[in-house]
Structure 1
Amino acid sequence: MTTRKCKICNEPYEKQRMGQVVCSPKCAMKYVKQQKIANQKKAQAAQRKEERAKTKAMKARLESVGDLLKAAQKEFNRYIRLRDKNKPCISCSRPLQQGGGLRGHLFDAGHFRSIGSASHLRFDEHNVHGQCVYCNRYQSGNHVNYRQGLIERIGLAEVERLESDNTPRKWDKEELRDLIQQYKEKCKELD
């Protein structure tokens, strides 16, 4: 006979039959109640998990391309800010200020070719660079100086490629979800 500790009262007992985990019928009744409660909690947890999965799937179905574009643009711009945080403004070469501001930054992810004129280039990393708020918002992107700074950073051939690229692009939901995930991972690498 082997000696075991009771699962209810922790008293030692001698195991008399296979599967015995308690010392007495009194402890056996308590153990059965505990098991019943534990099984109910497991079932409830599984049900909550299933409901959350259904809700998540429903939200994913209800997301519009516009909602996903906003989320993807937010992650992309965050990546550009992290990538260019120690570089000067692409247009005026002033140092980009860190922290502060309404959204935790004082510089923008400025597009060389704007989203309005070339939406297909909105996620092209060569088309977007760190730009001070003054140049981006108050000088309409300071385009002439942006082009000069861009030539210095990526070369004339790449700038001409951006300027001549007029390929229409339509984003679908899966592509946008992939972009969101991709730029979240890139941001983690830079943090």
Structure 2
Amino acid sequence: MFLSVCLEFAKHKNYEKEVKKAKARKRQHKIEEMTKDKYRAVKIQPLINKIARLIDYGQVCIASRVDKGKMAGGHYHAVGHNRTLSLNLHNIHIQSYHSNGPQGGQHIKYRHGLIEEYGNEYTEFIDMHLCQCPSNLWTKNDLIKLRPGLLGTIKQLEADQTKRTPLERITLRNQINEQIGLYAKEFSIFSVE
């Protein structure tokens, strides 16, 4: 009796291992089948947006200035219009879902919010300078290598959820953009003198 229970348990354990291996192979196959842009959109963009929201923890929506409801990572230069800037943290600030979705991003209000929160110089950097960033030359493999570091950054920011000053938020965006390493210094770092 005991032997048959042990054999049954061993079969069950092997079955569980095989199921786990099959699921891992399926996930890997899905990743291999994704285009670079699909991988960016599904695996990287949500992490970058979460980092932007964590940097802006406790802040109001950059466009509508509301502090209630679910918040998103809203792009100043829309992702659909400019994939190159989609992962640049200076281009992403906390924005309410309502403002970011049904309201179409509220671009003019977003710009006014940047001015109110950070000043004219930073707003000009985002509005006029970032859009001159050359097209990205990242490979899918470059993006795959980013994921573990982004998960680590999220973990650190989640452990330190404090309301930060505008200067602290710009500095954090500079530091994390530099760690990510996707952009030339002139497009990833805003000089705060």
- TM-score class, shorter: 0.5 to 0.7
Please tell me whether the aligned partners of residues 60 and 67 of structure 2 are also in contact (alpha carbons under 8 angstroms): yes
Whether 1:186 and 2:153 are equivalent positions in the alignment is yes
Please tell me whether the aligned partners of residues 111 and 123 of structure 2 are also in contact (alpha carbons under 8 angstroms): no
Distance 2:139 2:83 in 1: 10
> Which has the larger share of helix?
2
Aligned to 2:19: 51
Aligned to 2:62: 90
Secondary structure at 2:93 match in 1: strand
Amino acid at match of 1:62: K
- What is the Cα deviation at residue 122 of structure 1? 1.0
Name the CA shift for 1:52/1:133 in 2 (closer, same or farther; >3 Å).
closer
- What is the Cα deviation at residue 68 of structure 1? 5.6
Aligned-residue Cα RMSD (Å) equals 3.3
Aligned to 1:28: none
Please tell me whether the aligned partners of residues 52 and 92 of structure 2 are also in contact (alpha carbons under 8 angstroms): yes
Aligned to 1:76: 48
1:23-62: CA deviations, max 9, x gaps? xxxxxxxxxx535643552354134213311331222212
Name the CA shift for 1:149/1:115 in 2 (closer, same or farther; >3 Å).
farther
TM-score by length of 1: 0.59
Q: Which has the larger radius of gyration?
A: 1
Alignment of 1:27-176 (within 5 A): 34=2, 37-38=5-6, 40-63=8-31, 64-65=34-35, 66=38, 69-91=41-63, 94-97=65-68, 99=69, 105=70, 107-133=71-97, 135-137=99-101, 138=103, 140-142=106-108, 144-145=111-112, 148=115, 152=119, 155=122, 158-159=125-126, 160-172=128-140, 174-176=141-143
Unpaired runs of 5+ residues, structure 1, are 1-32, 100-104
- What is the Cα deviation at residue 126 of structure 1? 1.3
Please tell me whether the aligned partners of residues 75 and 86 of structure 2 are also in contact (alpha carbons under 8 angstroms): yes
Unpaired runs of 5+ residues, structure 2, are 159-193
Secondary structure at 1:126 match in 2: helix
Name the CA shift for 1:155/1:67 in 2 (closer, same or farther; >3 Å).
closer
Please tell me whether the aligned partners of residues 47 and 150 of structure 2 are also in contact (alpha carbons under 8 angstroms): yes
TM-score by length of 2: 0.59
Distance 1:50 1:82 in 2: 38
Distance 1:128 1:118 in 2: 13
